[in-house]
């Protein structure tokens, strides 16, 4: 059966695929501006039903205690996605504007394969730890520590890498024994809704365990944070929205995991291969039009070689032309929407107002009359105090900043409200590692190392969020810890 065969997606609530109470809304291809079809538009009553279904499924079924069932179901979802991977690839390119090349990695196939890690972790996890016999306060006691599911998880996800983020929440949350209500971004509703079809038709996941609620109403996300029936909210998105989620959740003291914004620095030390480092920095900012929270968008280079570094980065980025994401060679596709394109352009205009210059790019590409495209842009002539160096732009924009040695480079990197990621390039591995150790960031790449993997925790310091996604640490975000002490007679 073809996925979304009629061009209309539906909600998944309590095991049933259903229309939205607010009707439907158009989903648009960001590369062409053409309407792809319609997504179900949920209302508050739909979200209330979804939360109620998740609560009942957790409280009244054996899902949370049946590890064998959970492991089987997560693997079934993985296998169903693999079976339909070519349909999912085309859908992802159209709905997200993701370049085809990225669907072999973090935009599709990587997250599908990562479901194996969640299932394997649950299957082999030490759910109960025996601490043995002791006599606290003189009372013989046998003690154990039990890890069990938190309960109902509200997952709120963005549009930039939707499969990766949806599955990085769903996989471990389900494997750990929770039930889930997923509220995806309205910009990419189809890649979330298609999970509902696969779950309903290709897995043994019981009704109510997964509920997928697409909507243009952002208040539905706030419902998840405020509702006392929800035990944990896992949110990925902007820092501003993350603050609201945390504030809304405070009334019920529920657990909150936040993966938020970034303005990460790429540090080039004075012994590094400048050409290689600046080319890598420029290339990485162009991937998926710079729409990644962990992309290093501040290139921090030795002051004595500043002009050379700007020219190298501009040479790389200027040679990468935004284009059709369905073509195999495309690196930089569109940004997600006209609203986002205008936001990025407003930052480019701000860069000039702040006294900066464009070494390449600076606006819309003349050869793309349709689609939400922005030219890869290098900004020079500004310091780390400029707004374009401090605020998350979420486009193919690189700001080049000079440094006066290792200490100054570290100072600049850490002089940010964010702390999500970072990169260090240097010829001396020990020196580069020493600089990396001083970065206040949750993920650091040294000389091209790759931290993205299912078994590696991902998350940030400071206003980049709290908690971790992926890895054992990410799995354990969805668990509570219970201490049990039994008198030993």
The residue with tokens 């390449």 is 360
Active-site residue, selected from the candidate residues 259, 375, 469, 476: 259
Length of the chain: 489
CA dist 212 and 166 (Å) reads: 10
* Distance of alpha carbon 400 from alpha carbon 281, whole angstroms: 10
Per the structure block, which two tokens stand in for 95? 């709905």
Is residue 312 within 8 Å of 361, Cβ to Cβ? no
DSSP result, 183-227: E--TTSHHHHHHHHHHHHHH--PPTTSEEE---S-THHHHHHHH-
Q: Residue with structure tokens 């471990």?
A: 172
The Cα 209–Cα 348 span in angstroms is 45
Closest alpha carbon to 447 in 265, 280, 290: 280
Kindly state the DSSP code that residue 100 receives in the 8-state scheme: G
Strand partners, 445: 423
CA dist 369 and 207 (Å) reads 46
> CB under 8 Å to 243, separation ≥6 — which residues?
none
Would residue 259 show up in a list of annotated catalytic residues for this protein?
A: yes
Tell me which residues are annotated as active site: 259
């Amino acid at each position: 059966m073809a996925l979304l065969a009629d061009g209309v997606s539906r909600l998944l609530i309590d095991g049933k695929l259903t229309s939205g109470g607010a009707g439907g809304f158009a989903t648009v291809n960001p590369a062409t501006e053409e309407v792809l079809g319609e997504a179900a538009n949920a209302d508050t009553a739909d979200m209330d039903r979804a939360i109620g279904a998740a609560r009942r499924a957790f409280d009244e079924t054996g899902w949370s205690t049946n590890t064998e069932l959970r492991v089987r179901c997560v693997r079934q979802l993985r296998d169903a996605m693999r079976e339909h991977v070519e349909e999912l690839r085309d859908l992802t390119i159209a709905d997200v504007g993701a370049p085809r090349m990225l669907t072999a990695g973090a935009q599709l196939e990587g997250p599908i394969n990562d479901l194996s890690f969640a299932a394997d972790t649950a299957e082999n996890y030490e759910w109960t730890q025996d601490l043995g016999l002791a006599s606290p306060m003189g009372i013989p006691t046998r003690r154990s520590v039990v890890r069990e599911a938190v309960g109902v998880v509200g997952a709120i996800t963005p549009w930039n890498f939707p499969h990766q983020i949806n599955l990085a929440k769903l996989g471990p949350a389900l494997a750990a024994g929770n039930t889930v209500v997923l509220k995806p971004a309205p910009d990419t509703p189809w890649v979330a809704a298609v999970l509902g079809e696969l779950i309903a038709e290709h897995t043994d996941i019981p009704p109510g365990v997964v509920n997928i609620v697409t909507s243009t109403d952002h208040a539905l996300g706030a419902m998840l944070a405020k509702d006392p029936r929800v035990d944990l909210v896992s949110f990925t998105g902007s820092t501003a929205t993350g603050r609201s989620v945390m504030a809304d959740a405070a009334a019920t003291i529920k657990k909150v995991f936040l993966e938020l914004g970034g303005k990460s620095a790429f540090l080039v030390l004075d012994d590094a291969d400048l050409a290689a480092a600046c080319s890598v920095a420029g290339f990485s900012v162009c991937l998926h039009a710079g729409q990644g929270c962990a992309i290093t968008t501040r290139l921090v280079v030795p002051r004595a070689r500043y002009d050379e570094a700007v020219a190298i980065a501009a040479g790389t980025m200027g040679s990468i032309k935004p284009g059709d994401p369905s073509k195999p060679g495309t690196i930089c596709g569109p940004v997600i929407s006209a609203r986002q394109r205008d936001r990025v352009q407003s930052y480019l205009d701000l860069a000039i107002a702040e006294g900066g210059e464009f070494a390449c790019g600076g606006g819309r590409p003349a050869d793309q009359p349709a689609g939400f495209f922005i030219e890869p842009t290098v900004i020079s002539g500004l310091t780390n105090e400029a707004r374009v160096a401090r605020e998350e732009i979420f486009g193919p924009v690189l700001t080049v900043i000079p440094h006066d040695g290792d200490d100054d480079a570290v100072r600049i990197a850490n002089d940010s409200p964010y702390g999500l990621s970072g990169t260090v390039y240097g010829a001396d591995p020990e020196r580069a590692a020493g600089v990396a150790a001083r970065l206040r960031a949750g993920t650091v790449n040294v000389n091209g190392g790759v931290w993205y993997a299912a078994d590696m925790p991902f998350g940030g310091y400071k206003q980049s969020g709290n908690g971790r996604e992926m890895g054992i640490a990410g799995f354990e975000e969805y668990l509570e810890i219970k201490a049990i002490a039994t008198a030993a007679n």
